Structure 1
Amino acid sequence: MNKNVAEVILDQLSLLGVKRIYGVTGDTIIGLLDAMAKQDKIEFIAVKHESVAAFMASAEAKLTGRLAVCTSTMGPGAANLLNGLGDAYSDKAPVLALTGQAEQKEMGTDFQQYVDQQELFKPFAAYSANLNSENAIVDLLQKAAEISLQQRTVTHISVPKNLFEKETTAKARQLPKVLEGTGTFELNDLEEVAGVMKQARQPMILAGAGARGAAGDIAELATTWGAGILLSLGGKGIFEDATPHLIQGIGEGGNPHAPNVFKDADVVLIAGATWWPEGYVPEDATIIHIDLHLEHAKKRVAADYGIKGKTEQVIPLLLESMKGKQKNEEWLNRIDAVKEKWAYQNEQEGQIQGSPVHPSRIARGLENTVADDAIIALDTGDVTVWMNRNFRQTNQKVLFSGYWRSMGFGLPAAIAAKLEQPEKQVVAVVGDGGIEMTLADLLTATRYGLDITVVIFNNGALQMESDKIQAAGNEELGTQLTNPNFVQVAEACGWKGFRVETDGNLEEILSKALQTKGPVLVDVWTEQAFFPETE
């Protein structure tokens, strides 16, 4: 017997490896929800706001690399997805948004909540289509999935309400196997780039999350080539702290002394990163960029040479080419001096005492207590730069809103991470302003019995904006927050709550929270510290 459109959607998504769909129940997706309620292949995760559903899908896609799915009703529900989809689109996360739409007879009219969703989603989706025939559903889903997975992007399909429960002859099917070239390079393919690298007197390597598979080779290349290693936020934790010539992060929240050497670099090799920290970079360096998705990366970095391929395939060949190169010891001495200076300063900053607790001290407290393989869901704001500056990451996986930089990402990301990897310790590190955007979804963690910990930098302010306003000499307005008692809010939502008011018992309470089963919130009374590099 033929199935209806909603049933085929679930069959097709299941074949694609989708385990859950995040969303808010709404009128125009009732047919889809009815089908979900009658099967057990895909779980519906009911959240409190559609933006949270999209953030969760984005976080899951970033964590797994698989297609992740969110859903909403038409009109305001669809519009609410856009912020989370903006995050996925900006950070190249493969996400599919499925939205309900007005019945076919109402489309294009003044029907309530109707909007042309293909126009609405255009800035946030590489592909957006409206289902016009029940028999086209598999073709649309396959096209959307292929685009999302191959381009690492967002796609969208809207389905008129009346089509979800309509029988279709379409049958779910596997995506076609695409036989791509391996991207294999030979030494002579990279001869020109290697020639440029050999001429470098002051080389640097900027590594990001995409360099994880080549970390050992990059470290060896830095030693052989005589280069320093800098990291984007996504690249933190890839290398051991003792790695020679590693001077940690660059940009806001990174090693504050790194720009002193980076700006003098004559050749920069970017490996697995698509981020170029404006204001911290050399003006006259030759830029060599390795990226598997170079067509996207080059939009953000103006490179002189682009190498389209996997970092772990290219770096060993460049390493082979650099053997025997004479290194500039004076340059390496400068790099190592910066490494040692920051290591000492960072250690001292993490020991700042007092009440309220200094943000550097909170970062160190987290460093001392979270599991080495924990997943950290990091929100956007002042908390981001302090964690980037002072949290000395080891093997933890950090999820964050990279280019979109939206507040409110932390809690949804933590929920999605725990659903996907329940065996992992999951910690959301958030500011008070960020958590207040998603407080209602504390109840989502309660609903699904999730063992996550939320740590709040509670300084009563939108501190990053306050810092910028102060630095510019402007008058502040709207930066000071009216905060609830977060512990009481958490307890009202079925969480366990702890409060930290002084650094003296910071690790003790954090450890207790991390060992407590079920959702736990730690409210840390935080100093309104001016971030030292705010311009």
Structure 2
Amino acid sequence: MSIMKVHAAIARALSDNGVETLFGLIGDANLYMVDSFIRDCGGRFISSANEAGATLMGLGYTNVSGRLGVVSVTHGAAVTNTLTALVHGVKARVPMLLLCGDTPVEDRENFQNTGQRDHILATGAGFEQLRSPRTIAEDVATCFRRALTERRPIALNIPVEFQWDDTEYEARPYRAPHTRGLVPESEDLDNAIGIIAAARRPVVLAGRGAIDAEARAALIRLAERLEAPLATTLQAKDLFRGEPFDLGICGTLSQPVAVDTLIEADCIIGFGASINPYTLSRGAFQKGKRFVQVDSDPAQIGRYMTPDAGVVGDAALTADLFRNWLDEAEIPGAGARDQALADRLETASPWEGLRTPDASERIDMPRVVQRLEQAFPRDRVLVTDGGRFLTEPWKNLRVPDPRQFVITLAFGSIGLGMGHAIGAALARPNVPVLHVTGDGGFVLGGLAEFNTAVRHKLDIVTIICNDGAYGAEHIQFRNKNMDPALSMFEWPDFAKVADALGGQGFTVETFADLERALAAIETRDRPILIDLKLDPDAMPELP
């Protein structure tokens, strides 16, 4: 037990819970805690330009590292600035801890006073109040427990007047329980085994809830035993990369050979996958099939569609249990891994039909993405903002591991990419981050934080898909044969802006320009921005 100031005790509680990196923006309600976290605990503080950006950084850090992202902000407008990011975190089911300062309780007329609890709860995030200086260690541990088990952001509200009080501090870090002992034994399990045994053209599908190494290996074993191909949701992109019968993404982004196979399938066995309308290709993959859905979270089973059998269980253990039952019953393989499918997968190419461009040609999305895939380092983190440019990057930019792929569209908002990219860069400090955004998204949420990436010397390459318009609105005007001028903008020269902010910027109009920009990536020593000048009337269709 130690006697220390409250601000130092909060910093120590973070450190005792394994926090090494803290994101945020300092103000009078948190500056001493942040200083203690750096000076006394040896932590690293990543200062943002805006509290929204800091919150997104925390979410990006959780996404890529698997450890809890932690953010600290002061009170009032600092808290309300975090709200869009919190809603995204709730909808994306990403754990995070937000430490909020609060105005003094006795100062009713403080001009930064606002109902912080009401604001935060309205986003769907959880809220905890620091009860007293004596409960710091317990209250911080409670937030860690809630964030990790509820899979959403949790805010800890800290009154500013506590900061310089003395308190007794004793470490009480949260210890996560082992949860992999969840093995199903029920009528649902029996039904699932019966459905799987009867399938003649099954597909084993992995979602974000089945991307760890043990689950991957178990699903491969089950697919081999069933003689079935493998597929993933978009969120589990490239989990089975390199496997001989990997169909890739199942859904609206499926490649042609995957589309044919999935339409012909008679059973889909999903692990850790919500099986939403996009995964089902808006119903096209649902017809004529039976579905087995396995998830450790019972709330996810039947969330979007009612499966024929829903099994609550750990992905790896349940897959191995299915395999063992098939062996016990001597059920033969389905034979869906035939030579014809192997040949089609072997020869399939996402670039089929793309012509090699002349240097003077104007750029287009498919061929730009092809060159990015070829030129950017293979070990990468891919972070995508929102916009109508997404089809090609999602389909054809590969990642070595699904944790190195970050989608920022859970709330349907643009402008969330740069914050996530910074968090991702801190989570994987030796891996370059490829951040793909639109022009509107970059101005909305990326511009201010690009300098944050510069200040902290992060290895981020930002690709702006610049069609000079808000794409979804441009599409709607065009679909109604209306003038899209209201959706179009004359932006500043983003390359010059990047230079002014301390990075390195390139304007790309032709494929010769693109090659010069890609050459600079090989010798990069600061964040790079590549501004792709695209035709708003020649963009790919939305997925």
Query: TM-score, with normalisation over the residues of structure 2?
Result: 0.87
Distance 2:317 2:341 in 1: 27
Contact 1:89/1:124 (CA < 8 Å) preserved in 2? yes
Structure 1 stretch 362-371 or stretch 316-325: which is displaced more? Answer: 316-325
Shift of 1:162: 0.7
Shift of 1:76: 1.6
Secondary structure of the 1:12 match is helix
Partner of 2:144: 145
Contact 1:204/1:230 (CA < 8 Å) preserved in 2? yes
Distance 1:95 1:506 in 2: 38
Residue 309 (str. 1) matches residue 303 (str. 2): no
Contact 1:269/1:287 (CA < 8 Å) preserved in 2? yes
Q: 1:399 to 1:532 in 2, by over 3 A?
A: closer
Q: How does 1:331-480 map to 2 (within 5 A)?
A: 343-344=348-349, 346-349=351-354, 351=356, 355-395=361-401, 397-437=404-444, 438-471=446-479, 476=484, 478-480=486-488
Distance 1:332 1:467 in 2: 42
Shift of 1:282: 0.8
Secondary structure of the 1:206 match is strand
Distance 1:300 1:208 in 2: 14
Contact 1:253/1:386 (CA < 8 Å) preserved in 2? no
Secondary structure of the 2:352 match is helix
Q: 1:320 to 1:447 in 2, by over 3 A?
A: same
Letter in structure 2 aligned against 1:27: D
Distance 1:200 1:97 in 2: 47
Letter in structure 2 aligned against 1:250: C
Contact 2:389/2:540 (CA < 8 Å) preserved in 1? no
Q: 1:352 to 1:318 in 2, by over 3 A?
A: farther
Partner of 2:23: 22
Contact 2:268/2:290 (CA < 8 Å) preserved in 1? yes
Shift of 1:122: 1.1
Distance 1:350 1:418 in 2: 34
Distance 2:7 2:265 in 1: 56
Shift of 1:258: 4.8
Deviations 1:306-363 (A, max 9, x none): 323332222233234446656666897997798589x346433485667431111121
Residue 269 (str. 1) matches residue 280 (str. 2): no
Shift of 1:141: 1.2
Partner of 1:488: 496
Q: 1:205 to 1:467 in 2, by over 3 A?
A: farther
Structure 1 gaps of 5+ residues are none
Structure 1 stretch 80-89 or stretch 164-173: which is displaced more? Answer: 164-173
Partner of 2:66: 65
Q: 1:533 to 1:418 in 2, by over 3 A?
A: closer
Distance 1:70 1:122 in 2: 17
Contact 1:90/1:402 (CA < 8 Å) preserved in 2? no
Distance 1:198 1:520 in 2: 52
Shift of 1:181: 6.1
Distance 1:47 1:254 in 2: 37
Contact 1:8/1:172 (CA < 8 Å) preserved in 2? no
Structure 1 stretch 18-27 or stretch 261-270: which is displaced more? Answer: 261-270
Letter in structure 2 aligned against 1:480: M
Deviations 1:165-217 (A, max 9, x none): 22222433222463556224689994331111122244333322333323344
Structure 1 stretch 464-473 or stretch 330-339: which is displaced more? Answer: 330-339
Secondary structure of the 2:363 match is coil
Structure 1 stretch 210-219 or stretch 436-445: which is displaced more? Answer: 210-219
Deviations 1:421-446 (A, max 9, x none): 22112221222222112211121112
Residue 103 (str. 1) matches residue 104 (str. 2): yes
Distance 1:177 1:532 in 2: 44
Q: 1:183 to 1:474 in 2, by over 3 A?
A: farther
Secondary structure of the 2:458 match is coil
Distance 2:90 2:319 in 1: 28
Secondary structure of the 2:29 match is helix
Q: How does 1:120-159 map to 2 (within 5 A)?
A: 120-159=119-158
Two-structure CA RMSD over aligned residues (Å): 3.2
Q: 1:330 to 1:217 in 2, by over 3 A?
A: closer
Distance 1:252 1:126 in 2: 30
Partner of 1:35: 36
Residue 318 (str. 1) matches residue 336 (str. 2): no
Distance 1:388 1:38 in 2: 42
Secondary structure of the 1:53 match is helix
Q: 1:361 to 1:411 in 2, by over 3 A?
A: same
Deviations 1:244-275 (A, max 9, x none): 2x332234444367556545644221123235
Letter in structure 2 aligned against 1:454: T
Secondary structure of the 1:99 match is strand
Contact 1:499/1:522 (CA < 8 Å) preserved in 2? yes
* Greater RCO structure (CA 8 Å; 6+ sep): 2
Contact 2:21/2:46 (CA < 8 Å) preserved in 1? yes
Distance 2:150 2:99 in 1: 18
Secondary structure of the 1:147 match is helix
Structure 1 stretch 394-403 or stretch 413-422: which is displaced more? Answer: 394-403
Contact 1:2/1:168 (CA < 8 Å) preserved in 2? yes
Partner of 1:218: 219
Q: 1:24 to 1:123 in 2, by over 3 A?
A: same
